[in-house]
């Protein structure tokens, strides 16, 4: 596996494959890789000629400096994992390489409600930072297919929207959330949970599953209230939001009624670690 840190070298290395019209699959990450990322790598390998993974902790998508400082980093382990899983190139630029002299060239787009609810509401500026870096990475890598986990459901919808609005020649592929044996969605942030927190973390997915089970038998508002109360029954948890929303627009719904495809999404603090998860309803 080739390890590249500069944009110039990445473009040069990729040119050989682009000239041969080979399909490039791309998995953007912030490192601290886990099985969820490795599943994306496997899918990319199955559907493309070569697979590139970026490892870059993108400072401009963190609205909380402490979260950025505490974000887990382990580049040498990431490189070993990617190599043993057949990734062809790891792109791991420095912050200066991506934003020379702090120049960000932010991508400003109109998203309707997509960036105003849930993560957009509670993490101001987050999606602008994500879209800016993903667009920059797409420009460097020139992928045919790019893979994103559904755990970051709203991010996936925002990136799909960006691809469509800018007419980028890349397929955005959403992949199922990979879970630990007890149901906890895999996330690099799980590494920050204490042993005690890790033991109870399953509660988030358990409640989401109960919500899916209860479905339309309970009014939406009552179900949301129930879910928040149920998660917070253990005082280690604090729910930031729990919403039931349209899968495409992410507009929270007030009542069942239509046959729209829905998704239940939540952000929860467990101690000082912020975890997000979701389940699709009526699938
Ligand atoms: O999902 C992530 O890990 C990040 O938001 C992404 C897409 C790699 C952009 O920094």
Q: Which residues are within 8 A (CB) of 36 and not within 5 positions of it... i.e. 6 or more apart?
A: 149, 151, 177, 178, 185, 186, 187
Ligand 1 in reach of 132 Cβ (< 6 A): no
Q: Give DSSP secondary structure letters for 108-140.
A: ----TTTTTSTHHHHSTTHHHHHHHHHHHHHHH
Task: Mark whether 37 is an active-site residue.
Answer: yes
For residue range 257-269, list pLDDT tens digits in order: 766 799 999 999 9
CA atoms 229, 231, 274, 256: torsion sign: negative
Q: In this structure, what are the phi and psi dihedrals at residue 106, rounded to the nearest 5 degrees?
A: -65, 145
Question: Which residue has a Cα nearest atom 9 of ligand 1?
Answer: 130
Instruction: Grade residue 9 by pLDDT with cuts at 50, 70 and 90.
Output: very high
Residue 250 has pLDDT above 80, yes or no: yes
Q: Please give the CATH topology (third level) of the domain spanning 188-277.
A: 3.30.1300
d(CA 37, CA 43): 10
CA atoms within 13 A on the CB side of 154: 30
Q: In the chain, where are the structural domains located?
A: 2-175, 188-277
Ligand 1 centre to CA of 137 (Å) is: 11
CATH architecture of 2-175: 3-Layer(aba) Sandwich (3.40)
Ligand 1 in reach of 53 Cβ (< 6 A): no
For residue range 20-45, list pLDDT tens digits in order: 999 999 999 999 999 999 999 999 99
pLDDT at site 176: 98
d(CA 48, CA 58): 26
């Amino acid at each position: 596996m080739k390890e590249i840190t500069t944009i110039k070298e990445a473009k040069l290395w990729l040119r050989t494959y682009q000239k041969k019209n080979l399909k490039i699959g791309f998995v953007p990450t912030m490192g601290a890789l886990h099985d969820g990322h490795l599943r994306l790598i496997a899918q990319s390998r199955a559907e493309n000629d070569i697979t590139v993974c970026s490892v870059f902790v993108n400072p401009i998508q963190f609205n909380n400096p402490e979260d950025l400082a505490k974000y887990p980093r382990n580049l040498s382990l990431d490189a070993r994992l990617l190599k043993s899983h057949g990734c062809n190139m790891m792109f791991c630029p420095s912050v200066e390489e991506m934003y020379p002299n702090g120049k960000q060239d932010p991508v400003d787009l109109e998203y309707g409600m997509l960036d105003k609810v849930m993560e957009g509401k509670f993490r101001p500026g987050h999606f602008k930072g994500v879209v800016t870096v993903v667009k920059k990475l797409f420009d460097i890598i020139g992928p045919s297919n790019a893979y994103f986990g559904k755990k970051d459901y709203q991010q996936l919808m925002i990136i799909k929207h960006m691809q469509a609005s800018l007419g980028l020649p890349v397929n955005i592929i959403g992949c199922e959330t990979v879970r630990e044996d007890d149901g906890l969605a895999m996330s690099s942030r799980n590494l920050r949970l204490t042993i005690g927190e890790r033991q109870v973390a399953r509660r988030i997915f358990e409640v989401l599953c109960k919500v899916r089970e209860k479905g339309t038998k309970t009014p939406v508002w009552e179900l949301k209230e129930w879910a928040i109360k149920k998660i917070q029954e253990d005082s280690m948890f604090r729910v930031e939001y729990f919403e039931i929303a349209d899968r495409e627009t992410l507009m929270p719904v007030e009542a069942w009624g239509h046959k729209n495809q829905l998704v239940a999404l939540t952000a929860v603090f467990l101690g000082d670690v912020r975890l997000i998860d979701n389940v699709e309803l009526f699938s």
